[in-house]
Structure 1
Amino acid sequence: MDGKETILIADDADLNRAILRNLFEDEYNLLEAENGEQALILLRQYRERITVVLLDLVMPEKDGYEVLKEMQENRFLYHSPVIVITADDSMGNRARVFELGASDVIAKPFDPAEIKNRVKNIIELGRYRRQLETMVAEQSARTREANAAVIDMLTSVIEYRSLESGQHIRRIRMFTQILLEDVAENYQVYNLDSRKIQLIMEASSLHDIGKIAIPDSILNKPGKLTYEEFEVMKTHTMKGCELLTDLDSLRDQEYFEYAYRICRYHHERWDGNGYPDGLKGDSIPICAQVVAIADCYDALTTDRVYKKAIAPSQAFSMILNGECGKFSPRLLECFKNVRDKFAQLSAEYADHLPGKIKTAPHIPSASLYDTGDNTLEQSQLKYFTLLRHMDSTVMELDYDTGVYHLVYLADQDFSALRSGNRFEDAIRNFTEAAVHPEDRAQVLALLDNYIRELFDEGLTCRDRKYRILDRSRDTYVWCRASLLRINLENPRQHRVLLVWRKEEFPQPDQPGHPAPFEPLPVAYPAADLLLGGIQKCRCDQHFTLIQISHSLVNLLHYSEREIETQFQNHLMELVYPPDREKLAKQFKEQRNEGKILQLEYRLVAKDGLTVWVSDHCLITVENGAEVAYCVILDAARHHQAEEELRLSLERHNIIMEQTNDIIFEWDIRNDELYLSPKWKSQYGYQPITKNVSSEIPRISHIHPDDVPVFQDLMQTMRIGIPYKEAEFRIADGAGVYRWRLVRATAQFDIDNKPFKAVGVIVDIDSQKAEKASLEDRAARDVLTGLYNKVSAQGRIEAHFSACAPDDLSALMILDVDDFKQINDRYGHMFGDAVLVELSSNVAKLFRGQDTVARIGGDEFLIFMPNVRKEEVAEQRAEEILSVLKDLLHENMRDMAFSCSVGLAFARGGALSFRDLFEHADRALYRAKAAGKKQAVCYQDEMRNGLIGRPEAEAAVCRTEIDSDRLKQWNLPTLISRAFDILYGAEDFGRAVQSILALIGEMFEISRTYIIESSKDGRRCNNTFEWCAEGIEPQIHYLQQVPYVSNGFDYRENFGEDGLFYCQNISKLADREKGFLEGRAVLSTLQYAIRENGTFYGLVGFDDCGIRRFWTREQIEALTFTGKLLSVFLLKYRTQDALSESVLNLHSVLDQQEVWLYVLDPDTYTLRYLNRKTKELVPEAEPGRPCYEVFYKRDSPCENCALKQALETGQSTMELYNDILGMWILTDASIVQWNRMEACLVCCRDISRYKDKKSQDSKQKIRESCGGAYEYR
């Protein structure tokens, strides 16, 4: 939204919206609504963006009172204050709208300046309020930080008083955070975010603060508490609340609200059996529920004075099975997800380990077996299982960890399953207490391999029957025990549900859960007539075939023997590999819903071809295991049709994804609209899709002025016109109206009646903006940017055709006195700048709806519609004279600047534009004849002839506009000539001089120049200069001039854009003038030469004749020239410095008394040789191989220093050169030379050293031989 504030205008009158739009559209982004319902739609969509609402009271759908009431109820007024604009300015009405929350009331008709100021004030107040809220939030955060020290001290007191607490507080904080994060992820109903989680985690530290008030004899008693002592202990919840209530000086409302709830309610239980208030279910705050589980787990897994710690797995089972009180089923599901993290933290922060007090706690990552499954989906799966087994007892078991949870107890005869801290203990206790002695071995098989086999064989269900004791009748009854696997997708996770259900009497088959029945007969002739026939298979991970039909054999061309030997009767291995995972998922999903399945997949035949089949399955149970009877049918033809349809839809989707257009389909009969997903990405909100023909015109995001266009488009499609296009504006997600083109095509049914309209919505906003820009440029004067003569006349005539009969309008014609003398004395450039400055000052005096235009060389027109009285326009004319009187006082000391104004009025459309213009024109020339420098209003007596001007000169024939003629220069020509000079020149200095001369002559500038910084950057030198005739050069004076003088750095004059523009040097402070002081400069424009933030100098343009007004076009042209020169100058100076560095390097290398040369490591050719090398081997030159030059060889040397340097980066070797007859010490290093890898070789003559070493060796041998060596 380009940083603009957004205003919503809600008014059903097009004219009122147009007036307000004209007032605010330049400074604000506008949204418009023509009824109350549409205004509320926009408020709901853009409530954070709309900064003020301009609301009419009398509107259709919902009036302004209803809008205000709903805004108040939905707290919209906080973000979007309302200014009511109404014709009813009575005290009663004002009281009513203020009571509904309006911020201001403005009576119609309103003053434009007044309403603009009121809107501005309300927006500023809103901005200040938001700033204050930010300050308060920051202060609150600082207060919380300050409170942290006190809170830490309080928690430390708790730890030291309670001997068993240790790091209890720290663990509670971490447990709380981990569990809250899982709850937030899986149960959005609790509305938890990261900020709330952080607050609750911090507040959990104070859950046991009330224990400060508990006597030590009770708090640290080693044994079990008596009833009376436990009642005292229970009071720590309320004592803690009292302490928190007394901490007023530390109060952070939200933080202490959480702390209070946790402290009071963390011993409440889901079934209402907690304390102190006996709350039940979700009436217990979620923060207290989470801390309760964390506190309970920590109490179980740590040593206390009255008990020893138990293992984490045992603690999990006890909490899950309600041995520590009932907890929320939702929280228990999340508790299962984080059990590994809890166990890890218990080990890391155990009481016997050093406390990690000052560091942030480490939150364990997900365990190896954490699948990331959605907890809500898992809960739903188990919920559906419970529905299928409403009269059953259900237990959940994690086979890997042994953690079990008795989810639902339907019959007290199974209550023994709740006993025991481990799954094994629970099963053994139940077997001993409730199972018939003859059947106990079957039950205890659960502890052997019975469950493991379910996973190993890939089964989803196993069933057994045995007898249990019915205690109400003291007799044994039959019970069915089902083992159901959950989470089939993850083979590493082994979780099951155990379901027990009494079956003393025959039970009807429950939906989704099969009851045993006799196997289906399959050996009948009709089965083989079916393509694929009937198969029987086990419901394991392989879908093992028990019985195979001959028709399946014929379909796949495998024999039964081949299926058995090659595929081990595994149907899954006959399935096309990419379909196997999909088939397993289909089977699981449909099996959860019932026992009749319809599957579709591909089989691979013996010839390698794939065959699409449709598999209809019936699931039953035989001998305690599930089996499936499958009818496999050839589905190739059906699937081919589906595949063609899928490819067609896929092509359609690809087209929709690759285009930025929005595809739509309107069901005319049902009045429903479909839009492609591009709508959401472009607009960010859901469209209206139902009852569109009535709802979209009433409450849509379409601009109110364009609703009739939309309605016409719909009606055109409804009556059966084949094709129609329409353009209208729609508000996007940011509340900005964007232009869209809709192309719609009607579709006809068999009766040739239209039933659908399809098409595209095309973004044409940029084209519309470009077109509007071109139209605006065509309507504007090139020099001043004001309207031109033709567009001004069109605007005025349009107003006359639509205005009311009693509307008063004023027209002024302004003419500069003696403007020709200004042009003659100061030049046309200065004259143009005068007109630009005049235009800017005059335009500021008028309203947005007024028309200010340039109609001649120095003549201007001002038209003011809807003037309240004539005195307003007359006052504006006097203000023009006052503002322009001293406009050029300092620039034209020897000439007075003034203007004359002619003024005329018209009521309604009584006068034509030509007549009104002629009246103002006659008044203007009356002002000229009366001595100029004044404003004259038209009178009837002026009708007879023009004063001081021939009658034949008609009003529409004005003076010629200079800017309408071809300019002496234009930017493309300047660019072209500058580049031609730079790229065609051999001497860079002469090229720069030529460009400076070109600019100076083209723009009539006194002096153009370049100033460059010294090497240390502290001083500057004038290096290039061009001066106009009669202007004294300054290049000899501006040498080594310091940038900093009188405590001011001249470089600070330049802004971020690199420009320093001063129209009047005398207005600069003395210390800011720098080297401009004493140089006869009146005006200057300078551009900084910068690179990577470093100031390297400037390009300057001075005027020594006048205090010049630089027009925007001139500034842009001179700025471009400055940028161009700075780029080439920096490049030239860099190359110059580089060349100098290369010369210096070569000079240094040539002075060395060693042989230096550079080699290409790939070709061994010489790249560079120093002077010493050339003297030693005169025939050596770049491009020749080193082995050829120095050793007269045809190939590289075996013992080469370059080869070793390539391996290690550097090598040193002693070599004997038999061509040169000397020993050489060679150093070779890999370096960068001209940005390429090369080898630098440095050689020294060590022959004398080698000869001396040889003589010394011989002397040592003679001495060791006692002189005998001499006689040999």
Structure 2
Amino acid sequence: MEMKQKIMIVDDAEINRQILMAILGDKYEYVQAGNGCQAVHLLQHDLTIDLILLDINMPEMNGFQVLERMNKFHWIDEIPVIIISSEEKRDVIERAYIFGAEDYIRRPFDSFIVCRRVQNILNLYANQKRLKQMVSDQIYEKEENNNLMIGILSHVVEFRNSESGEHILHIRMVTERLLRRLIQKTDQYQLSESDIAMITTAAALHDIGKINVPESILNKPGKLTQEEFEIIKTHTTIGADIIDQMISKSEKPLLRIAWEICRWHHERWDGHGYPDGLIGEQIPISAQVVALADVYDALISKRCYKNAYDHETAMDMIMSGECGAFNPLLLKCLYEISPELRMAVQGNMGEEAYRQEADRLAAEIMKKKSTPCSDRAQCMLESMQEQLEFFASLNGGIQFEYDHVSRLANIVNWNEPPQYRYSVMNVANQNCFKHLSQKDFHRLKDALDVTTPENREFSMSIMLPQGNDYEWCELRMHSLWSELSPDHYIGAVGQLIKPQHVTPELPLLDGLSEGENADGKNIRVAFEQLKQIFDIVRLVDPAHNAVMEIDDKGVLRQTGQHCAAFWENGGNCANCISTRALSQKTMLNKLEFTRRDMYYVVAKYLCINGTPCVLEMLSKMNEGRWIDANGTRFLLDKSRGENRELFSDALTGAYSRRYFETYLMHMEGMECVEIIDVDHFKQVNDTYGHLAGDVVLRDIAAAIQSCIRSTDILIRYGGDEFLLLFPKMSEKHMLEKNEKIKKAVESIVFTEYPDFHVTVSIGGVCGVHPIMEAIHQADKLMYENKRTL
């Protein structure tokens, strides 16, 4: 049965949605959204929409804002949009087309026009998709045929030479990885993606000249005579001549590169190679890279005249110069991709990890009773979509993809220049985690171990070295699972972001223009809204260390105050993100301290009536809007439509159990975890009543709060049980803190009930992860402490 095309109707008036569905009839499948926010949310989880009918004037997010999001994530390239609106102003219609709308239909609806325009747009996009697929299929088929012919030709040479059938695959693999590492280190050779593809393909033909060398020489098990070696050397010029005859008929870049590789892949950096004795950069980079790849694979592969060397021995022989002289920069590249090559030797070249993966795929095929060709492609697309959705929700920082089979992590550091941005690490190598403490490494491993196909994401704060100091970084992870075998873990994607690079989602800020024509009066209105979220909102000119203000007429002027005076540091800020936000014309975040308090600072560049400045928004950390005491801040409360009361225990003022359960994963980095229980609390309730019990709990919570830091977290975990979390504290200091808490509780005087005194039992652990295990152990220790009373 033919599948129906899917149309999303986005309109805040249900009657309009019903009218459109009635006009279009039942030949389409419909998805409805009552506003722009709902539409964007639906698109984030389902991009199989064939057409969107979009209203302009809607609450929460209007049609233009939806189009902005669709342009930002490139959805507009795949999903056509028809605007449906009663607006008749020309500038509104023009704006809709500028934002990417395909058509504009005015209300009241004409059923004939609606049906024809919807069908025309759907047909147009369906034809475009079909044509794209046809072109893609043709290109893919042509590339596959080219690779197949090159593979056949190269395998003929391998067959005559009695080499491993994988020799060509290895040469191409090592060549590509060397080239990719090379372009990260230098732009000296000006290699494009097309160049890399052509060199990698042409590398398969490097020994084509051996087709004219006698097999008795090629396969001789002993040492060659000088005469035999001279004959072997001719394969370079013979191969070049074969390619040269093809060049005379077709001047293609691939043939030119193949000619260079065939003739010069035995040249050496010091001039002692053959056939022409080229020196240094006289050798084309294509031939240099293939020469190094050829030597590496020759060492690790079994030949008729030798056994295979292991990876480490082969690397030592090449790096020490035993196998000839090579470009020092290429040797550095080879050394840096050594972890990848080791895994390739242990994996692609026949070891257990890849065999296990092959077995797993075979088992999945057997379960499905048929070869899942289309399923496999679909699952690959879904996996890529899952990764893209994860990365699309993030911004900048260091991103990585981890493959559990190969144990390799592909890392992209967006803070680095392009030539240094990409790298690959072998997680089996301990040096991969040299910047990560053992404690954080085990926390990360434990957190990954408890992910499931249903709960794939978590985040935590970790400490990383920064020069001679350390700084907190936010790590977000998303585990990946096989769709064909749901319980099979296949890897993870993640991102590491420094706190001051994390940009919270503040819908209010979307309305603050960063252009040259921001109006001062509009900024004043936004100020009043932002003051409902932040403790301090101000404008500064960091270039002149001045605090600014906007008068009633919307004019920006200096107040005479020094912008750094708030921080009580007696001078300019050492790491002023407002200065950076001004110079980069962006928004940055950081943590900053006064002598008494810690603040979360958001600095956003603005240009008001042509004058550049920075909007600073500050929130005090100890007022309860911080849900991750590890040094990062999960912005909640009014900016997200949430209230502190949702996560606060009304009686004690501590955090509630709901807060703990909602943000459990953000607490995984806690160094110390304690359980505090009120002794004989039932007797208090039975003797004096529940009102007295409430007084006791309230005063005990206040006593505990008086002993802890603003970065520590106190949670009312049960009726008379408290959970206390310390982000950074030694066991010695934790025990000292426990004694302080016990004395503070014992010294409480209940004026309403002067006849009784209370005590608490405490159990705590340090360095135990995950947090639920830490709570379990702390609870056991608390009961042991209680039994000593």
Same fold (TM over 0.5): no
Which structure: larger Rg? 1
Question: Which structure is higher in RCO with an 8 Å CA cutoff and minimum separation 6?
Answer: 2
TM-score with structure 1 setting the length: 0.22
